[in-house]
Chain A
Amino acid sequence: MSGDALALELRGITKRFGPLVANDAIDFELRRGEIHALLGENGAGKSTLMNVLYGLHHPDEGEIRLDGERVRIDSARHAIRLGIGMVHQHFMLVPVMTVAENLVLGTEPHRGPLLDYKQAAARTRELSERYGLAVDPDARVEDLGVGAQQRVEILRALFRDAKVLVLDEPTAVLTAQESQDLFRVLRALKEDGTSVVFISHKLNEVLDVSDRVTVLRRGKKIDTVETEGASERSLARLMVGRDVLLRVEKTDHSPGDALLEVRDLHVSDDRGLPAVRGLSLTVRAGEIVGVAGVDANGQSQLIEAITGLRKVDSGQVVVDGQDVTGYGALAAIRAGVGHIAEDRHERGLVLQFDLAENLSLLEYRKPSMASRGLLSPRRMDERAKKLLGDYDVRGGDTGTPASSLSGGNQQKVVIARELSADPKILIAAQPTRGLDVGAIEFVHRRLVEERDKGRAILLISLELEEVRSLSDRALVIYEGQIVAELPPAASEEEFGVAMTGGGRREAA
């Protein structure tokens, strides 16, 4: 394969949604056998551009060339026929079917009227071996983990002879180890001549896996650069348009009294199985305690137990000397627990409520929000307006429904609400999940500021980097227990060992 031949060329693509220009005359080139990263903040137009390529949107202007030939792509079906494969963030698999069945769906090999399942399974196995995409063809998709489901999606695209493979934020749902596995697969595909478009806003991954990077900002193409010679700093500047603090700047902490004490906590998950098993931890005023760990090791249940959202089997949660175990969410809030929820759509916000209402979710009980016994929308509004200004929430005013804000601004609303209740301790669960660098910077800076004001902050995150850079003390959770306390400066390897159960508990 000649390295410089273009597999795909987008020229002057413009896509408007009403007054909003999502893509403004964007040029994009993809060489054969290249991994090309598409980098940009949320709302920069990455997904729109790829949806244009995949036939889900029609461009208002511009043209698409595949192997030098101009094409018009009407639908996803058409795109697939042209050899374009796409792995969406939300998988499009049939959960009750096996891997092989999912792969051949739509193009089933058959013997008479019956599905030739053996052949389907054989073809699946062949493909998965070729690219090191380990999956069992006979496994049911619903029984697979997220990483494996993603491999099935990739296999399906390859099964349909994709020459151009688009991956929309593929690592958002993966653990660090799974991400590395994915990158290995992508490199194997590249060797084989497949061209890959890798959409992401994580700088280190882009630097790790791609050959070239195209940066979008506010619907415009800013630049295309060779990955060699680019740095996190240079890419972040292209992406945000200004210098960004990638590292959290913080002074040494000076912890005070213990504000949160969790003692020998046992909590079960929804299926009644033990999820947190005898966990103890302490967070003091003015410190950030980070909890690192692989997903599903009891983090969610720990958070829910502390915030009063889940029943505790045994053990205690003590907030500033007050035992709140088993008294429910309101008791925890009253005792001074603030909660940046793991999932802001499920739990952090009422998406249909407007911003004033969302910002009042804790405050509406207070007399200050009422006049003559009735809730006062005017007072709620005034308070909300001030908070929106203080926290620099953009993209809407007090009457805007929360659903129409971007992820970063939604998170700012959650943080504004929780902090405005002046909590003693703040549970920050995955506080930067799905946010872009600008918003991450804001959240991190804010957490450090709140620490300096003397709040106790418990940070629970799947992003090891986040725990390492923010924490004053770092704990590792594994199978519902704290198995290690490491200095935040400890190496990734040390954390990795502990996170996979290789460590011994060292400190209380």
Chain B
Amino acid sequence: MSAEPGAAPVTVAGRLSTYLRGGGIVTPIITVLLAFFVGGLVVLVTGHNPFSTYRAIFDGTGLNWFFPWTSSDDRTIAALNLQQTLIAATPLMLTGLAVAFAFRCGLFNIGGQGQYLVGSFMAVWVGSSFSGMPGLLHIILCMLAACAAGAAWAGIAGLLRATTGANEVISTIMLNWIAVWIGVWLFGLGGPLQSDTDKSVPISNDIAQNTHLPVFWGDPQLQGLHIGLFIALAMLVVFWVLLNRTRTGFEVRAVGFNPEAARSAGISVGRNYVLAMGFCGLFAGLAGSLDVLGWQHHLATNDVQISEVGFLGIAVALLGRNTAVGTMFAALLWGALVTGTSVRNLDPDVFEPALAANLTRIIQGLVVLLVSADILVVYLWQLRRRIRRRQGVAEEQPVQVAA
């Protein structure tokens, strides 16, 4: 007999999906608040004032630029900070989408980092070659090449999953490392893409001047905000349309929810796995090219090894509930966090930036933990109600067994 209408669905997944339908925005907010609260406790333990610390981080993000009462001196600095926040958020939106799209197809793409990296390698290579090409054409070529590289890289994992059933979590993690070491080899001393002018530094050639993305806010010399932000925002729209208004998206969602039912309806599950991973790689690869064309302009082996834009995308997608709008806000939050706690932006008198970067990691870890343990948050939420109800019942009927 099926569950009676109104009765609590039995499975954890069922309960979760019911809850998500009800108030999809509540849990992420609770999650973030909880993470910041615990982060505040950590700050307290280190002997600092959590409020002034968070205030300093907030100022470091440049978000105070929006406040009308900010003085004009502060506003100048705030503008610089805010540009950095948005520069950081730009690739995060895309690597977030790279994870979110896979989730919607029932896949867990841990490989955003690798896909981002191969995209950036491609952008560096194309951008520093073919000199003399018209700027716009050259830029477009860089981006297309990066998208193709990312898509192919992720497609490997999709193809393995579709043909052999190899778990994409494992294969994408491996592909991440392969990408990192390819980068180290490419730009390392004696590597094929190492700088022609400075043979003693593990760094690539600079991309051609005319492939730099135009800066529309701030000073191009001081790493102002490039137009990559609009490309990322446009991709959010592309993501939404692709998923909700195309046949491919319909198939991807059907496969993501119930591959067996999708198969019965004549949808090829394997083909959609490859396709979905391809789109993921496309988003992440594009992110790589935007960073290279927008502000990095070259890559060093060091950049390749310390970059974590792709990994942050996982947290962004989780917090953003794998939706376009959610991913945007989560990417902005993360961009702000990373910027606000960076050595350059945080006031060292309030909190040592070296420690603050760790604070970001703590908050990041907590968010991922709490989002993954979403059911825990839901459970706590329900527990509250259950306790209240039990108290109510107990008052009405204090006697357990009455003759």
Residues of chain A touching chain B, judged by Cβ–Cβ distance below 8 Å, are: 17-18, 20, 22, 42-43, 45-48, 51, 57-58, 69-72, 74, 89, 168-169, 172, 199, 201, 307, 309, 328-330, 332-334, 339, 341, 346-353, 357, 360-362, 364-365, 370, 374-375, 377, 395, 401, 403-404, 406-407, 434
Contacts and interface: CB of A to CB of B under 8 A. Distances in A.
A404 B397 contact: no
Given A72-B401, A374-B245, A350 B262 contact: yes
A20 B7 CA distance: 10
Interface of B: 1-7, 9, 14, 17, 21, 241, 244-247, 249-250, 253-254, 257-258, 260-268, 393, 397, 399-403
Contacts of A309: 263-264
A130 B360 CA distance: 67
Contacts of A168: 1
A404 B354 CA distance: 51
Given A72-B399, A330-B266, A361-B261, 4 more contacts: A309-B264, A339-B264, A350-B258, A434-B2
A350 B261 contact: yes
A401 B21 contact: yes
A4 B7 CA distance: 34
8 smallest beta-carbon distances between A and B, as pairs? A17-B6, A330-B266, A20-B6, A361-B265, A374-B245, A352-B257, A350-B258, A333-B266
A374 B241 contact: yes
B6 A361 contact: no
Interface of A is mostly: mixed
B393 A406 contact: no
Nearest to B3: A47
B247 A364 contact: yes
B265 A406 contact: no
Contact of A47 (B4, B264, B400): B4
A374 B14 CA distance: 31
B5 A351 contact: no
Given A58-B393, A364-B250, A374-B245, A20 B5 contact: yes
A71 B401 contact: yes
Nearest to A66: B401
Contacts of B401: 69-72
Contacts of B268: 328, 330
Contact of A72 (B1, B5, B264, B397): B397
A291 to B, nearest CB: 19
Contact of A375 (B7, B246, B264, B399): B246
Contacts of A71: 400-401
Contact of A362 (B7, B21, B266, B393): B266
Contact of B403 (A42, A69, A332): A69
B6 A307 contact: no
Given A72-B401, A362-B266, A22 B1 contact: no
Contacts of B2: 42-43, 406-407, 434
Nearest to A370: B247
Contact of B1 (A20, A89, A339, A361): A89
A168 B244 CA distance: 41
A89 B4 CA distance: 14
Contacts of B6: 17-18, 20, 22
A45 B4 contact: yes
Nearest to B262: A350
A329 B264 contact: yes
Contacts of B17: 352, 403
A375 B263 contact: no
Contacts of B257: 350-353
Contact of B258 (A201, A351, A375): A351
A349 B5 contact: no
Nearest to B265: A361
Contacts of A364: 247, 250
Nearest to B397: A72
Nearest to A70: B402
B4 A43 contact: yes
Contacts of A51: 7
Contacts of A330: 266-268
Given A353-B254, A374-B245, A403-B14, A347 B260 contact: yes
23 contacts: A22-B5, A22-B6, A43-B2, A70-B403, A72-B397, A72-B400, A89-B1, A169-B1, A172-B1, A201-B1, A328-B268, A349-B261, A350-B254, A350-B261, A351-B257, A352-B257, A353-B257, A361-B254, A361-B265, A365-B247, A375-B244, A375-B247, A406-B5
